[in-house]
Amino acid sequence: MNSLSDVDCQACGACCSFSADWPRFSTESDDALDLLPPRFVAADETGMRCSGSRCDALSGRVGFETSCLVYEIRPVVCRECVPGDDACLMARAAFGLTLPQQILG
């Protein structure tokens, strides 16, 4: 592992557990949103359903092993999340997850 793009999201999950405000729908079509299981959509239909700050579609333990239960049909905001970007680093810091020393230099 030697670049921020090598950050393993499946060993993290912090971005999906950091804020209930993040997994919001923006440019999704109605057809795309209809593919999401209703149990993962917020009651007001503006984004993903969260329990506290954690997206309900996140499975596993943050910082160890996680996966998205709707990965193939996840919303645009989730698709645009970039490993190692400012939002990623802020979420990781909130959980005390540091980057591997090889990346930090």
Q: Give every residue of the chain whose pLDDT is below 70, as ranges.
A: 1-6, 100-105
The residue whose two tokens read 């440019």 is: 27
pTM, to two decimals:
0.84
Check residue 54 and give its pLDDT. 97
Check residue 32 and give its pLDDT. 92
Q: What is each CA distance from 88 to 4, 8, 17, 41, 67, in whole angstroms?
A: 10, 11, 11, 23, 16
The residue whose two tokens read 């359903």 is: 49
Check residue 103 and give its pLDDT. 46
